[in-house]
């Protein structure tokens, strides 16, 4: 299975529609196979991101906030979405691999702010 995580630096991007970077990891027998890929998108777009997920045959998307229309569309396309997650992408991926990630989870390690406003 493939997992797509929306990124903002090392954390899960707060909004799906404003995401410009994603991480795609392939999971085989409960382990990450190969190096996860980071893809930079030409610009933020929910539609493009949905198309990418379908094209890449992603099974699970982990993201922050997502609009209902896109959430329902992805569900219709048989892609599981775990949304409203706050925290580091790496930790979210680890929890998702052991099926222990719930929507609206705030992961204990707080989001990093390498670009403090």
Q: Which tokens go with 32?
A: 């990450």
Applying CB under 8 A, does 91 fall inside the site for another protein? no
Of 9, 16, 21, 112, the closest CA to residue 65 belongs to 16
Cβ contacts of 71-75, under 8 Å, gap ≥ 24: 74/50
Of 22, 74, 77, the closest CA to residue 44 belongs to 22
Applying CB under 8 A, does 52 fall inside the site for another protein? no
Residue 68 Cβ vs another protein, minimum distance, rounded to whole Å: 4
Among 31, 55, 78, 108, binds another protein (CB under 8 A): 108
Among 40, 42, 57, 68, binds another protein (CB under 8 A): 68
Residue 71's H or E segment, with its range, is helix 68-76
Among 2, 10, 15, 94, binds another protein (CB under 8 A): 15
Applying CB under 8 A, does 104 fall inside the site for another protein? yes
Applying CB under 8 A, does 64 fall inside the site for another protein? yes
In whole angstroms, what is the distance from residue 106 CA to residue 87 CA?
Answer: 6
Residues that bind another protein (CB under 8 A): 8, 11, 13-15, 17-18, 64-68, 71, 83-84, 86, 100, 102, 104, 106, 108, 110-111, 113, 115-117
């Amino acid at each position: 299975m493939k997992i797509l995580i929306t990124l903002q630096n090392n954390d899960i991007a707060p909004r799906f529609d404003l995401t410009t970077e994603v991480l795609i990891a392939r999971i085989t027998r409960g382990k990450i196979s190969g190096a996860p890929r980071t893809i930079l998108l030409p610009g933020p777009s929910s539609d493009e991101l949905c198309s990418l997920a379908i094209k890449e045959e992603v099974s699970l998307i982990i993201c922050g906030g997502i609009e209902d229309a896109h959430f329902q569309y992805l569900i219709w396309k048989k892609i599981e979405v775990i949304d409203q997650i706050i925290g580091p992408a790496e930790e979210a991926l680890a929890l998702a691999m052991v099926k222990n990630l719930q929507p609206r989870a705030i992961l204990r390690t707080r989001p990093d702010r390498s670009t403090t406003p």
